[in-house]
Amino acid sequence: MQLDITDKSLLRLLQQNARYTTKELSEKLHLSATPVYERQRKLEKEGYINRYVAILNKEKLGIKLLVFCHVKLKQHERGMGETFVKAIQLLDEVMECYNISGEYDFMLKVVIADMPAYQDFIMNKLTMIENIGSTHSVFVMGEIKTGTAYPI
């Protein structure tokens, strides 16, 4: 499926606010509701839209610490990497995990209440995962830009 200008506009609008009604979207796109509804369903079916989520205020939830944790594995055998990946997916504190190049193998985005909670996370959850050789934590002092919308 090739995206046209209307599809791209629809995706931009949904990234801004996924709660727009079909009527609101149709007004913004200058189309009637039925074609907008059909386009949106087609974009979902084709996999352009994975899901709809609410973005929460982490401070109100008591999450005060954002950490980027770099992880180096002891061994790089296929099974060991898969074990790590499966274990990371079970940790709620890990918001994102990337397999990276360079000195470390993975970079984790960890959100947690505070420093004692992070220490507990490192000691009792993360380092309990088999095959972790070392970790390096970078603590975020302030968020300058946080986005959820991809450039289209």
Same domain, 36 and 71: no
Tens digit of pLDDT per residue, the chain (152 long)? 899 999 999 999 999 999 999 999 999 999 999 999 999 999 999 999 999 999 999 999 999 999 999 999 998 877 778 899 999 999 999 999 999 999 999 999 999 999 999 999 999 999 999 899 999 999 999 999 999 999 99
Q: Are residues 76 and 35 in the same domain?
A: no
pTM of the model: 0.88
What b-and-e string marks burial along 80-96, b requiring 16 or more CB atoms within 10 Å of the CB?
Answer: ebeebeebbeeeebbee
**Claim to verify: residue 75 and residue 127 sit in the same structural domain:** yes
What's 133's domain CATH number?
3.30.70.920
Shared domain check, 70 and 40: no
CA distance 118 to 113: 8
Has residue 59 been placed in a domain?
A: no
Q: Are residues 86 and 121 in the same domain?
A: yes
End-to-end CA distance of the chain: 15
Q: Say yes or no: 69 and 26 in one domain.
A: no
| Residue 13 β-bridge partners | none
Provide the token pair at 98.
Answer: 């990337």
The reply to whether 54 falls in a domain is no
Report yes or no on 98 lying in a domain. Answer: yes
User: Residue 36's domain is classified under what CATH number?
Assistant: 1.10.10.10
Check residue 132 and give its pLDDT: 94
Domain range for 99 is 65-139
In a domain, residue 25? The reply is: yes
